[in-house]
Amino acid sequence: MTGSSMKLIRHLAAAVVVLAIGAAAFVALTDKPLAPTVPYTLLDGSTHSTEQLRGQVVLVNFWATSCVTCVKEMPELIATHEKFESRGYQTLAVAMSYDPPAYVVNFVETRKLPFLVTMDLDGSIARSFGDVQLTPTSVLINKRGEVVKRYLGEPDFEELHALVDELLAES
């Protein structure tokens, strides 16, 4: 082989390596983790699983009645739910294990929360979603059950609405 042939082979090999690294990076950046499959019991006593929410865009919101920001953002969560529900959007509000059940029930009834509400009595739901400790924490899940975004604190609702709209448009 000539020197120019060897040089060409080295350049081609380098290009293949660069393409492989780029492809791996692209897959890593676009590969979203699956949301955990966890059972939960609604306030009416019915039992369900997050698996049943597949096919919908879902916001799982970890909250507490003692959390000032949680209480502040609740009207926006209600408005978001009502805006997108008819298109296949669902909200699952998960009351933290330290929240007294009577307080949760009173809050849900007085605020007439229109979405799914469960109490994480043993903390297992919070642990399944990455050991959630701080409230509010929200996890946005696409129709395929993949975690798209995690919010710590109150989301930027304008940005959230745009993302939900985009996710609902996906097939």
Strand order in the sheet with 116-119: 116-119, 89-95, 57-63, 137-141, 147-152
| Summary mean pLDDT of the chain | 89
Report residue 109 as tokens.
């009834």
Report residue 165 as tokens.
């709209």
Q: What local confidence, expressed as pLDDT, does residue 93 receive?
A: 98
Q: What local confidence, expressed as pLDDT, does residue 6 receive?
A: 56
Grade residue 25 by pLDDT with cuts at 50, 70 and 90. very low
Does the pLDDT at position 90 exceed 70? Answer: yes
Q: What angle do CA 149, 155, 161 make, to 5 degrees?
A: 75
The CA-atom distances, in angstroms, between 4 and each of 14, 16, 18, 152 are 15, 18, 21, 56
Report yes or no: 123 and 97 within 8 Å, Cβ to Cβ: yes
**pLDDT > 70: percent of the chain:** 82
Report residue 112 as tokens.
């007439």
pTM over 0.85: no
Grade residue 158 by pLDDT with cuts at 50, 70 and 90. very high
State how far the Cα of 153 lies from the Cα of 137, in Å rounded to an integer. Answer: 6
Q: What local confidence, expressed as pLDDT, does residue 1 receive?
A: 65
Place of tokens 């919010």: 151
Report residue 129 as tokens.
């979603």
First vs last Cα of the chain: how many Å apart? 53
Grade residue 10 by pLDDT with cuts at 50, 70 and 90. low
Q: What is the mean pLDDT of residues 115-142?
A: 98
Place of tokens 């709209």: 165
Q: What local confidence, expressed as pLDDT, does residue 30 receive?
A: 55
Report yes or no: 72 and 153 within 8 Å, Cβ to Cβ: no
Collect all residues with Cβ–Cβ distance below 8 Å to 134 and sequence separation of at least 6: 152
Q: What is the mean pLDDT of residues 16-44?
A: 70
Does the pLDDT at position 16 exceed 50? Answer: no
Place of tokens 């529900």: 85
Q: For residue range 99-110, list pLDDT tens digits in order.
A: 999 999 999 999
